[in-house]
Amino acid sequence: MSDPAPDPATAALAHDLRMACMRVARRVRFDVGNTIAPHHFSVLVRLHEQPRTLGELAAIEQVSPPSMSRSIDQLADLGYVVRSPDPDDGRLVRLSLTGEGRDVVGRERELRDAWMAARIEGLSDADRTVLRRATDLLEGLLEADRGGAQSRASGSGEAR
Amino acid sequence: MSDPAPDPATAALAHDLRMACMRVARRVRFDVGNTIAPHHFSVLVRLHEQPRTLGELAAIEQVSPPSMSRSIDQLADLGYVVRSPDPDDGRLVRLSLTGEGRDVVGRERELRDAWMAARIEGLSDADRTVLRRATDLLEGLLEADRGGAQSRASGSGEAR
DNA sequence: TCTAACTCATTACCCGATCTAACGATAGCT
DNA sequence: AGCTATCGTTAGATCGGGTAATGAGTTAGA
């Protein structure tokens, strides 16, 4: 392992693809919604996947437990999240979404998806087929190192 | 304009493609570098494109002029940016990168590109061709509404 | 021409978010 | 039972950002 200079075309593709993805992400974040703070939405998405403890959530979001505790305070005040004690371990606090919390996630996702849909609707079927295949490839790449060397907790992509 | 329900395949593609892009962006931000604060790097990238005035930069980065002024203070202390008076208009402050500032941008970009390169190196030529075409399509989509309805200032994709 | 209005950057002050350190509370081990 | 580790919260400090007010500089009109 040392990446002894990949060929120029691959290097250029890596750069261009990375830039394109980051630009899409940036545009979505800037142009869409803003009905909820980005870090709050990110938390809701994690809890939409499954209920979690506060410590888990803090680790996933790469934030200290006290910070996450404060965020949860706010999301609980908004009625999007509920704290409940863990039946097996009294130290843990289990977090889960309320129905309203799930609605918020659903609405925001619709807005974001609509942003992207509006841009690919005008493409030809052939072009959309290319994007479909590329998307599947990207998903494979992202999935590939989920259990890999570093096995990071980052991944939902809905973040911030 | 009203998007009267696009076909399901397109809607699914929009969702999956957006998610994939955002996940890539998130992973790059989390996994790579962290040698410089994200908002600082974003500013350096804008100045790497071309010298700008403080007000321009604040508008592009969507922060208030006072905040940008403070960020520039820090980047100037780090030796990455220099303020210089505009010869034609004494009110303006022209901002440009130092050699070291350019080096920082270069190094960070290399790290980020290497992250992506490491993931696409293992693909077949056919798969990389798909990604190449998809990247070009995405660049077209991003470019398409640069002069469009809202003509937002967001676009570098190197941000945050 | 010279003053009034406007523009750009900075300074002053406040708020919100995050961090580390310290503190109960609960589990688990010996 | 008692000791130690873990989880979440509270306390205090720091940092990034926002609005309001200030000062320098430019532009336009009497």
pLDDT at A158: 65
pLDDT, mean of residues A46-52: 97
Which of these, B88, B27, B93, lies nearest to B55 by C-alpha position?
B93
| Alpha-carbon gap, residue A54 to A45, rounded angstroms | 14
Which of A113, A123, A158 is the best substitution to test chain B (most B C-beta atoms within 10 A)?
A: A113
CB A148 within 8 A of CB B145: no
Beta bridge partners of A96: A82
How confident is the prediction for chain A on average, in pLDDT? Answer: 89
Architecture of the CATH domain B36-142:
Orthogonal Bundle (1.10)
Q: Which residues touch B115 (CB under 8 Å, ≥6 apart)? A: A18, B27, B28, B31, B32
Angle between helices A125-144 and B8-31 (to 10 degrees): 40
A129 contacts B10 by C-beta, under 8 angstroms: no
Greater model confidence, B2 or B152:
B2
Residue B75 and residue B37: Cα distance in Å, rounded? Answer: 10
Is the C-beta atom of A42 closer than 7 angstroms to strand C? no
- Nearest-CB residue to B120 (from A10, A25, A113): A10
The answer on pLDDT for A7 being more than 50 is: yes
Partner-chain contact B18 A144, CB within 8 Å: no
Nucleotides of D under 7 A from a protein CB: 6-12, 16-21, 23-27
pLDDT at A152: 41
Contact B150, A115 (CB under 8 A): no
Closest Cβ–Cβ partner in B20, B118, B134 for A130: B134
Mean pLDDT value across residues A147-156? 46
Q: Which residues of B touch A152 (CB under 8 A)?
A: 27, 30-31
Q: Residue A146: its pLDDT value, please?
A: 63
Q: Which residue is nearest to nucleotide D9 (CA to C1')?
A: A66
Which H or E element spans position A111?
helix A99-120
Mean pLDDT of all residues in B28-51: 92
Residue B93 CA, nucleotide C15 C1', distance (Å): 28
Average pLDDT over residues A40-65: 96
Give the pLDDT band (50/70/90) at residue A100: very high
Model confidence at B90, pLDDT cuts 50, 70, 90, reads very high
Predicted confidence band of residue B146 (pLDDT cuts 50, 70, 90) = low
- Cα dist from B106 to B49, B78, B100, whole Å: 12, 16, 10
Q: Which nucleotides of C are covered by protein (CB under 7 A)?
A: 7-12, 17-21, 24-28
What 3-state DSSP class applies to A157? coil
pLDDT band, residue A151 (cuts 50/70/90): very low
Sheet holding B52-53, edge to edge: B52-53, B93-97, B81-85
**Confidence category of residue B150, pLDDT binned at 50, 70, 90:** very low
Task: Taking residues B34-48, report their average pLDDT.
Answer: 93
pLDDT at residue A154 greater than cutoff 80: no
For the segment A130-147, what is each residue's pLDDT rounded down to a tens digit? 999 999 999 999 988 765
Closest-CA distance of chain B to residue A76, Å: 26
Q: Is pLDDT above 90 for A21?
A: yes
Strand C at less than 7 A from CB of B88? no
Classify the C-alpha dihedral B64-B70-B73-B79 as positive or negative.
negative
Judge whether residue A97 has pLDDT over 60: yes
Nucleic strand D interface residues, CB < 7 Å? A 53-56, 58, 65-66, 69-70, 72, 83, 91-93; B 37, 39, 62-64, 66-67, 70-71, 74, 89-91
Helix (H) or strand (E) holding A53: strand A52-53
| B33 Rama sector, left if φ>0, alpha if ψ -120 to 50, beta otherwise | left
Contacts of A150 in chain B (CB under 8 A): 31
* pLDDT of B101 above 70: yes
DSSP A153: S
> What does the pLDDT read at residue B34?
76
Across the range B95-117, mean pLDDT stands at: 95
Residue B64 CA distance to nucleotide C22 C1' (Å)? 37
- CATH number of this structure's domain A36-141: 1.10.10.10
Average pLDDT, chain B: 89
Q: What is the pLDDT of residue B159?
A: 56
Tell which wins on pLDDT, A127 or A4. A127
Predicted pLDDT at A4: 55
Contact check, Cβ <8 Å, B31/A152: yes
Minimum Cα–Cα distance from B7: chain A residue: A121
Tell me the chain B residues in contact with residue A132 when contact means C-beta distances shorter than 8 Å.
9, 13
Per-residue model confidence (pLDDT) at position A157 = 57
Task: Answer for B70: CB within 7 Å of strand C.
Answer: yes
